[in-house]
Amino acid sequence: MKTIMAAVVALTALLAAAPVHAWTSDPARSTLSFTATYQGESFQGRFRRFEAKTLDYDPAHLDAARFDVVVDIASIDTANSERDQALPGKDFFDTARFPQAHFVSTRFRKGADGRVLADGTLTLRGVGKPVTLGVTFDPARKTLDVATTLHRLDFGIGGGDWADTSMIGDEVAVHGHLALRP
């Protein structure tokens, strides 16, 4: 009887520690967009190609949640051909040397306001920095939204002559909308 109880306790502990729900994103219905400023005017852009390599998420088990997302930087689209030709160059993203951005979560937690936050490391243009994403999960619609504000100069984007923040704003609002499949 003790052996059976020990096995039940061990199995219960194993199931409690099991990974949370693993999702995949539907690329046709998912978006990764941003808002920045140029000469005081706001503009929007998006990355056409990104892959959520790992999306383990259940709000009831934040301790086991994991995100691992890779972005193809050359897929940038701001609906302005001149800007879209400049952004992959050496002065900005330098996609010849750094073709991808990579976010990996390190922990999930509840913020003071009750919102879920995902702390992690974003590597962009060869620079890794801590980043916190606000996370909103809608289980009925099977969507996951993340948002953060980045400082482009922290990653060396638009340095040198382009470091003047009155010309190009330093803050860039980033929003991801993922349509999920189990």
84-126 pLDDT, tens digit per residue, is 999 999 999 999 999 999 999 999 999 999 999 999 999 999 9
Q: What angle do CA 79, 85, 89 make, to 5 degrees?
A: 135
**Mean pLDDT, residues 131-159:** 97
In CATH terms, the fold of domain 20-181 is Lipocalin (2.40.128)
Q: What end-to-end distance do the CA atoms of the chain give, in Å?
A: 38
pLDDT-above-90 percentage for the chain: 86
Tokens of 156: 């060396």
pLDDT at 7 over 70: no
- Percent of the chain surpassing pLDDT 70: 89
Vertex 139, ends 115 and 130: CA angle to 5°? 40
- For the whole model, what pTM was predicted? 0.88
* CA separation for the pair 3, 162 (Å, rounded): 69
| Residue 49, SS3 per DSSP | coil
